[in-house]
Chains A and B, each alone.
Chain A
Amino acid sequence: MNSKRSTEILVGLFVAAGIAALFVLAMKVSNLGDFTDEKGYEVVAHFQNIGGLKARSPVTMAGVRVGRVTSISLDPDSYDAKVTINIYPQYDNIPIDTSASIFTAGLLGEQYISLSPGADDFFLQDGDIIDLTQPAVVLEQVIGQFLYSTAEGE
């Protein structure tokens, strides 16, 4: 009876350890913790070129994450990229003339949207459009321009 009891306790510990390991993987290792992002308000920005931006890429302001990209689609009229951004509800005082640029973390890292605040008294609301945008810098284009200009200089 006693050995049966200890067997059961050890099995219970084993299952608990396995589930705890899965939980650690979920919360500590994966981005599942981010899925619980509180639903803020959505704004739209149009970019000429989004480079390697993806849905769920971070949106930052002064380096602080203030939201995430929720979806990316092609605007059928203007042929530019329509990027929908979810901004966390506590950042509800972002001026309406804020500009958005796509930057790269490091030389080859992940791409993200950086917002630089404007000075307007009106704040962005759900469904608003960010007018001032700067497309992603595509490394190949920069290198191409550089090579072209050095060739011209000679």
Chain B
Amino acid sequence: MIELLRSLGGWGINTFQRLGRGHIFLMQMLAGVPSSVFRFSLVIQQLFYVGVLSILIILISGLFVGMVLGLQGYNTLVDFGAEESLGVLVSLSLVRELGPVVSALLFAGRAGSALTAEIGLMKSTEQLSGMEMMAVDPMRRIIAPRFLAGLISMPLLAAIFSAVGILGGFLVGHGLLGVDDGAFWSQMQAKTDWYEDILNGVVKSIVFGFVVTWIALFEGYDASPTSEGVGRATTRTVVHSAFAILGLDFVLTALMFGDI
């Protein structure tokens, strides 16, 4: 019984310690951001690894998500004779929800895990402490450019996801199911608002990019320097990112669209 209480307490203290470390890490990282703006070539290199290499998975998933939305939405809407609203359904669900959320989940799996593994390996091979020896701040040289790259690429990826998804919905809706293309686009334009829907989606994706990159970098930086520790940190990145994305999505949706 005492043993149980003790382990529970230890678990609680560890959790809070990690939470505190994570936020201290965040502050140090943000402090490193301004200097990495001036060395933008580092950020561009990271944009390649974080953003460009994620494009393919975003394009393919976006296309298929849009196509599935088109099929499913059509089957429901046709019962009400409202299949012209398919464009609205596809665009609103993609721009508001699925674009930011699914691309953030994919981003966590594709780029976040790679970031964690990279930083974790740097730590376990003592490259980070080597840098500190040479008076190079790894926060500025390694962490901040990656953070900035994640923050920049996430909204762009989400926008690509939504645009491709709408194209996929249109291909299925118009090409396969025969929804009138004029009605598809005009209803979509009538009901999708730039500020209310699209910009809120962009805000969501920026928040997700912030959180996912932060989690990924922190898990890598905080990994125990063994191959097992790096593996566990990579898993934790994906799991914690997924929790954070879905939980934050509810909060953001309630704030943006819930009229609370």
Contacts and interface: CB of A to CB of B under 8 A. Distances in A.
Closest 7 A-B residue pairs measured CB to CB? Answer: A18-B156, A32-B194, A21-B163, A21-B159, A30-B194, A22-B159, A30-B192
Chain B interface residue number, banded: 20 to 34
B197 interface: yes
B192 A17 contact: no
Chain A interface residue number, banded: 20 to 34
Q: Is the interface of B mostly helix, strand, loop or mixed?
A: helix
A10 B52 contact: yes
Interface string B153-172: 10111011011101000000
A19 B158 CA distance: 11
Interface stretch (B25-33, B40-48, B120-128, B134-142): B40-48
A34 B191 CA distance: 12
Contacts, number: 84
B51 interface: yes
Q: Which of A21, A28, A31, A35 lies at the interface centre, i.e. has the most chain B CB atoms within 10 A of its CB? A: A21
Interface of A: 4, 7-8, 10-11, 13-15, 17-19, 21-22, 24-26, 28-35, 106, 110
Nearest to B157: A18
Interface string B85-108: 000000100010000000000000
Nearest to B160: A21
Given A7-B44, A18-B155, A30 B52 contact: no
Q: Which of A22, A25, A26, A33 lies at the interface centre, i.e. has the most chain B CB atoms within 10 A of its CB? A: A25
